[in-house]
């Protein structure tokens, strides 16, 4: 049975007060028992997350990591530092990291590896831009993003990882992929991985990300290859985020 996951990527938003209110709201809520709920606050609020979520089933993680363990890398945070604060997951290769911070395919692959070596579960984000989609290159791009990681770590590493399909054109734009468009790409991703190892591919949770909201989550999450969501903007508000977590309960993926 595939794990259903709803993850909230706060990005660089909110103050300490906002973070506290959001974490408390989530910690005190009833979380569906068969959904893994994860929050990704900015690094500086991770101690707060570990304090406020320690008695809840909600997990937390880093939005990024450095590929090394320690050293002269001003401004960076490593996997051991994240696990020190109880992180279980880390986002790797988010499109904002790839485009704004110039993380190329080998860098993303090294970060994926560093996450696992450091005891974290990487959530590997893949996705195409609008231009790439329009020019018919979407599948090629996704294929390359997956292949570079598989080459670096081998398919067996995906036993302990999550993939998030996030079309860049849908992130923060309000333009959600339709459930059918998303399903098509999720099925493609699974098919790519099946070629390497069917058992691993069929057990892998593949999340959809890009303008997921309470009112479109059920439509997306009930598609057969969509196992939950990576939520940006809508994860900054307790009620809406919890409604999205609830939507994952209706997931009808093959068990
Ligand atoms: P969004 O962001 O939900 O605000 O579109 C998703 C993401 O970037 O993970």
Interval 75-131: pLDDT, tens: 999 999 999 999 999 999 999 999 999 999 999 999 999 999 999 999 999 999 999
Sorting pLDDT into bands at 50, 70 and 90, what band is 9?
A: very high
pLDDT at 171 over 70: yes
- 120 three-class SS: coil
DSSP E strand boundaries for the chain: 4-9, 35-40, 59-62, 89-92, 121-126, 162-165, 206-209, 228-231
| Mean pLDDT of the region 48-55 | 97
| Mean pLDDT of the region 28-56 | 97
| Mean pLDDT of the region 32-53 | 97
Integer Cα distance of 112 and 147 in angstroms: 13
CA-164 nearest atom, ligand 1? 9
pLDDT at 252 over 70: no
Integer Cα distance of 191 and 197 in angstroms: 10
167: Cβ below 6 Å to ligand 1? no
Beta bridge partners of 36: 5
DSSP line for 189-255: HHHHHHTT-HHHHHH--EEEESS--HHHHHHHHTSTT--EEEESGGGGSHHHHHHHHHHGGG-----
Tokens matching residue 140: 């090629």
Integer Cα distance of 211 and 219 in angstroms: 13
Instruction: Tell me phi and psi for residue 82, to 5 degrees.
Output: -70, -40
Residues 6+ apart with CB under 8 A from 227: 2, 3, 4, 5, 205, 206, 207, 221, 251, 253
Percent of the residues in the chain that have a pLDDT greater than 70, as a whole number? 98
Listed residue (78, 61, 60) closest to 69, CA to CA:
78
Residue in 92, 171, 213 to alter for ligand 1 test, most ligand atoms within 8 A of Cβ: 171
pLDDT at 25 over 90: yes
Mean pLDDT of the chain: 96
pLDDT at 250 over 90: no
Q: Would you call 186 a catalytic residue per the annotation?
A: no
| Mean pLDDT of the region 150-157 | 97
Ligand 1 centroid from CA 17, angstroms: 22
pTM for this one? 0.96
Residue 241 near residue 8, CB atoms below 8 Å: yes
171: Cβ below 6 Å to ligand 1? yes
For ligand 1, atom 3: residue with the closest CA: 232
Sorting pLDDT into bands at 50, 70 and 90, what band is 239?
A: very high
- 83 three-class SS: helix
- 60 three-class SS: strand
Sorting pLDDT into bands at 50, 70 and 90, what band is 216?
A: very high
pLDDT at 170 over 80: yes
Q: Would you mind telling me the total number of residues written for the chain in this entry?
A: 255
Number of H helices, E strands in the chain: 11, 8
Instruction: Tell me phi and psi for residue 10, to 5 degrees.
Output: -75, -15
Per-residue model confidence (pLDDT) at position 255: 47
User: pLDDT tens digits, residue range 179-207?
Assistant: 999 999 999 999 999 999 999 999 999 99
């Amino acid at each position: 049975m595939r794990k259903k996951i709803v993850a909230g990527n706060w990005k660089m938003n909110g103050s300490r007060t906002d973070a506290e209110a959001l974490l408390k709201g989530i910690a005190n809520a009833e979380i569906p028992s068969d959904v893994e709920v994860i929050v990704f606050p900015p690094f500086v609020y991770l101690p707060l997350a570990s304090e406020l979520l320690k008695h809840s089933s909600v997990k937390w993680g880093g939005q990024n990591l450095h590929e090394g363990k320690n050293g002269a890398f001003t401004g960076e945070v490593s996997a051991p530092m994240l696990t020190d604060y109880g992180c279980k997951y880390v986002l790797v290769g988010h499109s904002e990291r790839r485009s704004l911070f110039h993380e190329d395919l080998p860098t993303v692959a090294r970060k994926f590896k560093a996450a696992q070596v450091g005891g974290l579960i990487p959530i590997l984000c893949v996705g195409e831009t609008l231009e790439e989609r329009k020019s018919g290159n979407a599948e090629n791009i996704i294929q390359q993003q997956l292949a570079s990681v598989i080459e670096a770590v081998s398919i067996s590493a995906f036993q302990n990882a999550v993939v998030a399909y996030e079309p860049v054109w849908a992130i923060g734009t309000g333009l959600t992929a339709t459930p059918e468009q998303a399903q098509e790409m999720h099925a493609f991703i699974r098919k790519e991985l099946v070629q390497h190892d069917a058992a691993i591919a069929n057990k892998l949770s593949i999340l959809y990300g890009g303008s997921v909201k309470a009112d479109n989550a059920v439509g997306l999450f009930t598609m057969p290859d969509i196992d939950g969501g990576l939520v940006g903007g809508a994860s900054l508000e307790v009620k809406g985020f919890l409604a999205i977590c609830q939507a994952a309960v209706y997931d009808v993926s093959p068990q």
